[in-house]
Amino acid sequence: NAGVTQTPKFRVLKTGQSMTLLCAQDMNHEYMYWYRQDPGMGLRLIHYSVGEGTTAKGEVPDGYNVSRLKKQNFLLGLESAAPSQTSVYFCASSYSIPGRATDTQYFGPGTRLTVL
């Protein structure tokens, strides 16, 4: 039982390049999330998914796209990377919606992305 895994762990891009971050969970969770964490800014929600085939925008979605073709996977894409997208990206998954007393979001170890 690996929980939430993210690949890659580190990546350096040049401005304008594209890449995809992969998140996988083996807990059969319906809900999955992508956050970015910047110094002094806390965690901010980029996109989320409430089930296979569905995605929705979070607080800071511009410049990112996502897909949830399989229940266990949630992909985050950067079509044309910009230096402002330098950040640590975290994926999370949960069984129920935020706000429920039983809700727990399980986080992956993060991907550290640098855009030059």
User: Minimum distance from CB of 38 to another protein (Å)?
Assistant: 10
**Cα separation, 42 vs 35, whole angstroms:** 10
Between the two ends of the chain, the Cα-to-Cα distance in Å is 36
Q: Element (H or E) spanning 6, and its range? A: strand 4-7
Query: Looking at beta carbons only, is 16 or 51 nearer to another protein?
Result: 51
List residues near another protein by CB under 8 A. 4, 35, 40-45, 48, 50, 56-59, 90, 92, 97-101, 103-110
Query: Looking at beta carbons only, is 16 or 109 nearer to another protein?
Result: 109
Query: Looking at beta carbons only, is 1 or 14 nearer to another protein?
Result: 1
Helix/strand/coil percent split, the chain, to 5? 5, 55, 45
User: Minimum distance from CB of 15 to another protein (Å)?
Assistant: 26
User: Minimum distance from CB of 1 to another protein (Å)?
Assistant: 16
* CB-CB contact of 45 with 36 (8 Å): no
